């Protein structure tokens, strides 16, 4: 059947839009996963910080670096953990921002795809009638 | 028929709003989510029990100055050893941080950890509960759709009914007598035959049919018929097949004289009908009966005809009935020519609608309608055609 050039163009458009949409969806999924990981780490770090805060000043703290335990100053350990928590929370915020962005893009792309589909349908039905 | 349905389109199958398949899919998705959460729950529970065991163990260790143990050496070997310093623990705090702690302090840490685990467990349980509720909802929706439960919009019903009857009445008044007479004449001959048959075989069959008709739960008792029908409220409450029967029966006998009255009552009832999609077969059978009974034989005959007609007819009706059915069902193709069809249309249309919507739900009806083999098959054919 001789699809009119307009129709072909629309279909082309639809394809490219759909591809973009699926790409965005993949990004969103990836983002979600990373975010999940970070939240888990954040929780763990908060637990560590709580425990560190409960320790006496005199108690020994070690950090596992590779195969060896390295003795660390308690204050230093606390500072390290705090810094890490800070880093993770800023990272989370950043991820939230990008996620929001991606989702906006996703919905707009979805709208675009829907619109193109409707147009194609309209064109096709118009043709079949005529 | 289609027109009648559209006009009265008060009844929509749930399954037309969302397919049963989709609902099932949703259920499955939710179930998957639930099973995922359940796994997490199990995992957390395991942690919790491990934690408790560990606490007990740690509490026991410092009770002795030293323990004789088998020390794992490599993957498969052990050698005997002694555990000393039984009150010194290196506790992993997480993120690679270890702290040197006494047994008592270790237990404290472990208990804190246990508490946070329990909190997680609780929140997860709540999530699972929510999901289960969701699943239940989807599930019920799916089954309703599958069963052909009907979604009724009362406003539409009332509007449609009111409007249609009004218009119908005018036409019907004019045309009623004519068409009635003609149809009646046709029907009469058949009816007489049927009646004879009924009388012969009727006693048994009549009883059966009565029972079935009786199943229909009716709040509206208009005539003697209503009495019969009333008895069975429980049966079809959900699907209200019987209501149709009742309504149909009631109006028909009256139909002759006070058509208007009947129509009105029908209209009012119609909303109820819509609620309860009644049996298709029963409807048809009664439709057949109605013209004859109402015309000639009066109520007594009506009863007789109804009962026997459905079961007995099959052969004779098949031969003779076609005309009648056609007239009554398809918005009175025959009667339409007469012009009197309008009234009938209203009735038939409503009936058809119900039956149409009900089709899914019908299995239950079919049992009741089994006797009227003929009408049923007809209906199915029509459905299939659509």
Contacts of B98 in chain A (CB under 8 A): 61-64, 69
Name the band, by pLDDT with cuts 50, 70 and 90, for residue B178.
low
- Could you tell me the CATH number of the domain that includes residue A98? 1.10.287.370
Q: How high is the pLDDT of residue B58?
A: 92
State the residue range of the domain holding A83: 42-120
Tell me the nearest-neighbour CA distance from B195 into chain A, angstroms: 54
Residue extents of the structural domains in chain B: 17-147, 153-385
DSSP A59: S
Q: How far apart are CA A83 and CA A101, in angstroms?
A: 27
Q: Burial-class residue A68 by CB neighbours within 10 Å (0-12, 13-18, 19+).
A: exposed
Cα B367-B231-B140 angle, rounded to 5 deg: 55
Give the pLDDT of residue B363.
42
Does residue A130 sit at the B interface (CB-CB below 8 Å)? no
Average pLDDT in chain B: 62
Architecture of domain B17-147: Orthogonal Bundle (1.10)
pLDDT per residue over B109-168, tens digit each?
999 999 999 999 999 999 999 999 998 888 888 887 777 777 777 665 455 555 554 444
Residue B307 to residue A96: CA distance in whole angstroms: 73
Give the residue from B346, B180, B335, B372 showing the smallest Cα distance to B269. Answer: B346
Q: Vertex B38, ends B36 and B44: CA angle to 5°?
A: 110
Domain count of the fold of chain A: 1
Residues of A in contact with B93 (CB under 8 A): 47-48, 51-52
With CB atoms and an 8 Å threshold, state whether A62 touches B97. yes
Q: Which residues pair with A61 in a beta bridge?
A: A72, B99
How far off is chain A from B93, nearest CA to CA, in Å?
A: 5
Residues B246 and B344 sit within 8 Å (Cβ to Cβ): no
Reported ipTM exceeds the 0.85 cut:
no
Answer whether residue A87 is part of any domain: yes
Query: Does B202 score more than 90 pLDDT?
Result: no
| Contacts with A69 from chain B: Cβ below 8 Å | 90, 98
Identity of the residue in B94, B97, B116 whose CB atom sits nearest the CB atom of A61 = B97
Q: Which residues in chain B are closer than 8 Å to A84, comparing Cβ atoms?
A: 95
Kindly determine whether residue A64 and residue B100, on different chains, have CB atoms separated by under 8 Å. Answer: no
Single out the residue of B103, B135, B170, B167 nearest to residue B33, CA to CA.
B135
Residue among B243, B196, B270, B192 nearest B4 (CA): B270
* B160 or B86: which leads in pLDDT: B86
- Which residues make Cβ contacts (< 8 Å) with residue B210, sequence separation at least 6? B228, B307
- B112 to A51: CB separation less than 8 angstroms, yes or no: yes
The answer to the question of residue A28 being in a domain is no
pLDDT one-digit tens code per residue, B235-244:
444 444 444 4
Among A44, A55, A59, the residue with its CB nearest the CB of B94 is A44
Tabulate helix, strand, coil % of chain B (nearest 5). 75, 10, 15
Coil/strand/helix, residue B250? coil
Interacting residues of B384 by C-beta distance below 8 A, sequence separation 6+: none
């Amino acid at each position: 059947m001789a699809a009119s050039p307009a129709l072909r163009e629309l279909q082309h458009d639809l394809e490219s839009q759909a591809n973009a949409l699926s790409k965005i969806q993949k990004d969103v999924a990836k983002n979600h996963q990373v975010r999940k990981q970070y939240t888990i780490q954040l929780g763990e770090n908060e637990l560590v910080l709580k425990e560190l805060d409960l320790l006496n000043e005199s108690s020994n703290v070690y950090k596992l670096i590779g195969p060896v335990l390295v003795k660390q100053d308690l204050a230093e350990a606390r500072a390290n953990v705090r810094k890490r928590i800070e880093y993770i929370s800023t990272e989370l915020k950043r991820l939230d921002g990008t996620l929001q962005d991606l989702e906006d893009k996703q919905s707009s792309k979805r709208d675009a795809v829907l619109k193109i589909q409707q147009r194609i349908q309209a064109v096709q039905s118009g043709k079949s009638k005529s | 028929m289609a027109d009648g349905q559209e006009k009265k389109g008060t009844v929509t199958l749930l399954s037309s709003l969302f397919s049963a398949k989709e609902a099932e899919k949703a259920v499955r998705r939710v179930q998957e989510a639930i099973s995922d959460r359940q796994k997490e729950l199990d995992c957390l529970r395991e942690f919790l029990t491990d934690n408790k065991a560990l606490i007990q163990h740690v509490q026991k260790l410092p009770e002795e100055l030293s323990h004789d143990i088998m020390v794992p050496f490599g993957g498969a070997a052990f050698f005997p050893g002694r555990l000393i310093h039984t009150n010194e623990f290196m506790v992993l705090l997480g993120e690679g941080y270890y702290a040197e702690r006494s047994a008592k302090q270790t237990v404290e840490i472990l208990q804190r950890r246990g508490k946070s685990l329990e909190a997680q467990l609780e929140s997860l349980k709540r999530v699972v509960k929510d999901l289960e509720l969701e699943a239940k909802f989807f599930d019920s929706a799916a089954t309703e759709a599958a069963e052909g439960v009907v979604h009724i919009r009362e406003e539409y019903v009332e509007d449609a009914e009111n409007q249609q009857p009004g218009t119908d009445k005018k036409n019907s008044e004019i045309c009623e007598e004519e068409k009635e007479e003609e149809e009646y004449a046709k029907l009469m001959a058949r009816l007489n035959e049927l009646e004879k048959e009924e009388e012969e075989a009727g006693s048994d069959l009549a009883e059966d049919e009565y029972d079935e008709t009786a199943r229909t739960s009716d709040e509206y008792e208009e005539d003697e018929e209503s009495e019969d029908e009333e008895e069975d409220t429980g049966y079809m409450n959900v699907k209200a097949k019987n209501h149709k029967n009742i309504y149909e029966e009631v109006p028909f006998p009256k139909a002759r004289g006070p058509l208007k009255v009947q129509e009105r009552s029908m209209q009012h009832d119609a909303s109820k009908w819509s609620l309860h999609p009644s049996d298709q077969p029963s409807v048809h059978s009664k439709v057949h009966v109605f013209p004859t009974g109402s015309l000639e034989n009066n109520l007594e005959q009506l009863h007789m005809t109804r009962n026997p007609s459905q079961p007995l007819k099959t052969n004779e009706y098949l031969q003779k009935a076609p005309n009648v059915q056609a007239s009554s069902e398809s918005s009175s193709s025959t009667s339409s020519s007469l012009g009197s069809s309008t009234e009938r249309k209203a009735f038939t249309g409503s009936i058809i609608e119900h039956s149409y919507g009900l089709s899914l739900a019908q299995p239950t009806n079919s049992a009741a309608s089994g006797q009227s083999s003929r009408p049923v098959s007809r209906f199915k054919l029509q459905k299939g055609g659509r």
